Structure 1
């Protein structure tokens, strides 16, 4: 279980709060592009069960998980406290997936606010079955420098990428990628998914590539490289 669900964002608490309370801004860090993203955001962050703290430093989202904002040296710590697991819930088997998802989204929140506070991201999302082997290793991301240091490598997809290591955890890696943005950089996150008996017995992986202001052809090339690599290594 992942216990450290927090990031320090180089922004004040009001800026972070705004990113949590405007649907169009939540879409810049929660999840990835999908037909049902707007509905998902509404259900999680703007449902009638959602509770805003009176001082705008806490937010209890639908389901009971709590965002807390704490001013610290260097900005604002954003912390998520998971609700106690209900073993009878339909979501019980997916509890660790939800925890890992929050970790991913916290790092996407930090990236959006620090690097592209007024940007509009375009994403490419890839799911991979577990039988093909861990994606982090297959992509060549198993031996990265420490967080904050620069890297330069060629992914197994054939893409040559460079930037800095954004974060690393037990099951995830995040990299800034210069070629994923016209100005500045984009973000690549690769996350391993743990096995779930009878539902996902072999585990799996997911990839979220967040890009900014790229031309249509450049974005299409990035998407094609990921999709072709998936087909070659995991089947269609």
Structure 2
């Protein structure tokens, strides 16, 4: 296997015009409503990626220090957003290679699409659960109801009947039965403290039903570490 970085090309089409998408990618307040998940230094992460280590070519392209770039291609009231790390995808079985940056953009583009197309009211709050488990165990607690938004080798993204966006992201193929690092992100909007506490409690309890799953739950700036009962 080559030791060169895995080239990638991730793209998502969003039901919003290019200027709206560009603003969501460059305004710090809007970035916080879709990028990543809540943690103590999310603002610093956004500053590092989208300000300190990027060259902007508005409203078409962002060039990053590692040679990757984001580009926005307009199509009327729709926009295709791409994350690209240039390189040949031929000659290497790249499908077998997991890449965190590639999969991160896949998740975050869907979170951006959810924000701009659904237009939820109120600020975002997230529950982030991570541990080692089989995809089947995590998909079982996520459920199969709701609107499927994306499915691929390492991810399944859906809108739960509650209206929250669920992102299941594994480092092993979701179709297999291999235990590996896997996460579940629950994105909510507009919840007060009591309502969000209920969501946090519900999904932490579901995660704890996974045998031997060790989890970290991130909610706002507080982190709770829990180990499921054996």
After TM superposition, the score normalised by the length of structure 2 is 0.75
* Partner residue of 1:193 out of 160, 171, 182: 171
Q: Deviations over 1:26-67 (max 9, x none)?
A: 1111100000100000000000x31111x4200113433211
User: How many residues in Structure 1 have an aligned counterpart in Structure 2?
Assistant: 196
Q: Does 1:29 align with 2:34?
A: yes
Report the CA distance shift for 1:44/1:95 in structure 2 as closer, same or farther (over 3 A): farther
Q: Structure 1, residues 8-31: CA drift from partner, whole Å, max 9, x if none?
A: 111111001101111111111110
What pairs up with 1:24-103 in 2 under 5 angstroms?
A: 24-47=29-52, 49-53=53-57, 55-72=58-75, 75-82=78-85, 96-103=99-106
Instruction: State how 1:152-191 maps to structure 2 within 5 Å.
Output: 156=141, 162-179=145-162, 185-191=163-169
Q: Note the aligned Cα RMSD (angstroms).
A: 2.8
Of the candidates 173, 176, 194, which is equivalent to residue 217 of structure 1? 194
Alpha-carbon distance between aligned partners in 1 of 2:72 and 2:134, rounded to the nearest angstrom: 38
The CA distance in 2 between the partners of 1:3 and 1:43, in whole Å, is: 21
1:133 aligns with 2:134: yes
CA contact (8 A) 1:45 1:62 kept: no
- Measured after TM superposition, the shift of residue 82 of structure 1 is 1.8
Structure 1, residues 132-189: CA drift from partner, whole Å, max 9, x if none? 322xx114x4xxxxxxxxxxxxx537xx88431111111111111242xxxxx32111
Match in the other structure for 1:230: 207
30-39 vs 168-177, greater mean Cα deviation? 168-177
Higher relative contact order (CA 8 A, sep 6+): 2
Which runs of no fewer than 5 residues in structure 2 stay unpaired? 1-5, 89-96, 215-226
